Amino acid sequence: MSNKVFAHASDAIHDISDGAVLMLGGFGLCGIPEHAIAALVKKGVRQLTCISNNAGVDDFGIGLLLQQRQVKKMISSYVGENAEFERQLLSGELEVELIPQGTLATRCMMAGYGIPAFFTPAGYGTEVAADKESRPFKLFGQEKDYLMEYAFEADFALVKAWKGDTQGNLIFKAAARNFNPLMAMAGRITIAEVEHLVEPGQLDPNEIHTPGIYVHRIFKGDHFEKRIEQRTVQAKSTV
Amino acid sequence: MLDKNQIAKRIAQELRDGMYVNLGIGIPTLVANYIPEGVQVVLQSENGLLGMGPFPMEGEEDADVINAGKQTITTIPGSAFFDSAMSFGMIRAGKIDLTVLGAMEVADNGDIANWKIPGKMVKGMGGAMDLVASAQNIIVAMQHTNRAGESKLLSQCTLPITGLRCVRKVVTELGVFDITTRGFELREIAPGVTVEDVIAKTAGRLVVDGDIKTIVL
């Protein structure tokens, strides 16, 4: 069996080069491949196209790649938390394609299922629909107009899981699942970073979210910062 | 006139036992604070959770448990996590019974604009376009006018559209409006507000007839 395990993020991403198209899992800063991003910053690859729901914040996540001007194009649904992003966008340094969140998720999923295109009502009649084929369909007893959207292809998918085994089987935790299993299935080469890396047989096959067939490389992250974007709590009662 | 919390409280009166509900960011989030006695709803957070609970106690926050506004939250017994494609699958398939959203503009045919101000704000649509394209029951919670004092209830949206003919009801600080083929039909009016106030601040087609109740909270 070929060895999928890498010791460090830098080894796992060694062949990501200038101009690569990447998918990066995560929603906000939740479930992002933070070690792979740090390794890309260190490697200094440029002209990247990043497919990711968000663009991180100024000093964490994809924001770190933006700071170093390593990103040519972002394909995202919401980018509101990053001032540097907005600056680069308004100055024309950065190309941005904004697409509806469900469309983004499904375009990733479709690649993993081998389906080239699908129809969705999201964005019909809006500027998102420009130059796209549309068609009416009747579903659930209702006729509506749908837009045709294509599956995304990516050279590399960078995902973060809670647990993984050396064969690449992955389990995600809570809301850190988000785009990760979809992108894991879509990458030409999928690189997973995990909090816990175990031997085959130590994960319950009933609980695997992503079968290892989709995962080409896996490594254990040393320490996950897991930064919280909006810390909201209830004050402890003093009673 | 209603404040933000009172707008949320009025919308909470639309909740029915057993509903699956998606609440957007801003005033819609506040609706969760006013779920009526005896009514249980399941809150969906479109990043991948059904069964969202309140904010965690201080010290118990978990970076992996957040809502669509990226806030730390908790889960309630019976909750479920899933990926983002399934999350929008249930939205597209019409499984969500009620969707409450904020808006920058609503037109009297139900069009909504809430994602972009050209040249100024480029944050993106997030899940809003998916939600408005598929939800069967959309309530907009918003202020009746913008910061310049101009009506946000229009005959036609001026900002880039999020979705066409999808909003069913609008609740503002002035009243409750159903959107029908006739336009914005004033159903309920806020305490201390006159019909003349509503007429003066509504730019789209406004229908004032029949029994108009005062909002009771």
Which of helix, strand or coil describes residue A22? Answer: strand
**For residues A190 and A217, is the Cβ–Cβ distance under 8 A?**
yes
Proportion of chain A above pLDDT 90, given as a percent: 91
Cα–Cα–Cα angle for A118, A19, A120, nearest 5°? 15
pLDDT tens, position by position, B13-23:
999 999 999 99
Number of domains in chain A: 1
Q: How far is B74 from chain A (nearest CA, A)?
A: 10
Question: Which CATH number goes with the domain that contains A58?
Answer: 3.40.1080.10
Q: Does the pLDDT value for residue B123 go beyond 90?
A: no
Task: Specify if A163 maps to a domain.
Answer: yes
C-beta atoms surrounding A132 within 10 Å? 13
A128 contacts in B (CB within 8 Å)? 125, 129
Mean pLDDT within B68-92: 97
Handedness of CA A83, B160, B21, A139 (dihedral sign): negative
Q: Kindly tell me if the per-residue pLDDT of A235 is higher than 90.
A: no
What 3-state DSSP class applies to A36? helix
Q: Does B22 touch chain A (CB under 8 A)?
A: no
- In chain B, what percentage of residues exceed pLDDT 70? 100
Question: Distance between CA atoms of B53 and B69, rounded to whole angstroms?
Answer: 14
pLDDT of residue A96: 93
- Cβ(A31)–Cβ(A24) below 8 Å: no
Torsion of CA B53, B54, B59, B63, to 10 degrees: 50
In this structure, of A21-25, A149-153, A181-185, B25-29, the range with the lowest mean pLDDT score is B25-29
Question: Residue A167 above 80 pLDDT?
Answer: yes
**Binary contact (B70, A77; C-beta < 8 A):** no
pTM: 0.96
Q: What mean pLDDT, rounded, does chain B reach?
A: 96
Is residue B1 predicted with pLDDT exceeding 80? Answer: yes
CA distance A60 to A30: 11
Contact assessment for residue A34 and residue A59, using Cβ atoms and an 8 Å cutoff: no
pLDDT value of position A87: 86
Residue B120's pLDDT band (cuts 50, 70, 90): confident
- Read off the pLDDT of each residue in B75-100 and give the average, rounded to a whole number: 97
- Residue B186 identity (one-letter amino acid): L
**DSSP secondary structure string, chain A?**
----B-SSHHHHTTT--TT-EEEE--BTTBT--HHHHHHHHHHT--SEEEE-S---BTTBTHHHHHHTT-EEEEEES--TT-HHHHHHHHTTSSEEEE--HHHHHHHHHHHHHT--EEEE-TTTTSGGGTT--EEEEEETTEEEEEEEEEPP-EEEEEEEEEEEETT--EE--GGG-TTHHHHHTTEEEEEEEEEEEE-TTSS-GGG-SB-GGG--EEEE-S------SB---BPPP--
Distances (CA, A) of B6 to A171, B10, B98, B149, B208: 42, 6, 19, 21, 22
DSSP B34: G
Q: Is A80's pLDDT higher than 80?
A: no
Average pLDDT, integer, range B63-68: 96
Sign for the pseudo-dihedral over CA of A179, A225, B76, B128: negative
Residue A113 in any domain: the answer is: no
Separation of alpha carbons A47 and A45, rounded Å: 7
pLDDT, one tens digit per residue, over A187-204 is 999 999 999 999 999 999
Contact by Cβ (8 Å): B52, A229: no
Mean pLDDT of B133-155: 96
- A238 pLDDT band (50/70/90 cuts)? low
Listed range (B120-124, B153-157, B186-190) with the worst mean pLDDT: B120-124
Q: Please report, for chain B, the start and end positions of each structural domain, with discontinuous segments joined by +.
A: 4-214
Give the span between the Cα atoms of A95 and A75, in whole angstroms. Answer: 9
Quick: pLDDT tens for A108-163.
999 999 999 999 999 999 999 999 999 999 999 999 999 999 999 999 999 999 99
B46: how many CB neighbours lie within 10 A of its CB?
A: 26
What pLDDT was estimated at residue B22?
Answer: 97
Share above pLDDT 90 across residues of chain B, in percent, rounded to a whole number: 94
Q: Give residue A1's pLDDT.
A: 64
Chain A hits for B160, Cβ within 8 Å: 126-127
Contact A174 B81 (CB under 8 A): yes
Of A69, A68, A72, give the one whose Cα is nearest residue A94. A72
Nearest CB neighbour to B129, from listed A105, A128, A235: A128
Give me B165's structure tokens. 């003919």
Kindly state whether B30 is in contact with chain A, defined as any CB-CB distance less than 8 angstroms: no
Partner-chain residue, chosen from B72, B127, B162, that has the shortest CB–CB distance to A228: B72
In chain B, what residues touch A173 (CB-CB under 8 Å)? 64
In this predicted structure, the answer to whether residue A237 has a pLDDT above a threshold of 80 is: no
Domain holding A44, by residue range, is 9-101+151-220
Q: How far apart are CA A183 and CA A217, in angstroms?
A: 14
The pLDDT value recorded for residue B5 is 97
Cβ-Cβ contacts under 8 Å for B20 (sequence gap 6 or more): B41, B42, B44, B50, B95, B96, B97, B98
Whole-angstrom CA distances from B99 to A33, A37, B54, B110 are 31, 35, 19, 14
Average pLDDT, chain A: 95
Structure confidence at residue B118 as a pLDDT band (50, 70, 90): confident
Asked if residue A147 lies in contact with residue A7, where contact means CB atoms within 8 angstroms, the answer is: no
CB-CB: which of B60, B63, B91 is closest to A30? B63
Domain with residues B4-214, CATH architecture: 3-Layer(aba) Sandwich (3.40)
pLDDT for position A239: 47
Percent of chain A topping pLDDT 70 = 98
Q: How many CA atoms lie within 13 A of A214 on its CB side?
A: 24
Let me know if residue A26 belongs to a domain. Answer: yes
**What is the predicted pLDDT for the residue at A164?**
98
Q: Residue A161's closest chain B neighbor by CA? A: B64
Do the chains contact at B46 and A28, CB–CB below 8 Å?
A: no
**Chain CA centroid to CA B194, Å:** 24
Quote the pLDDT of residue A196. 98
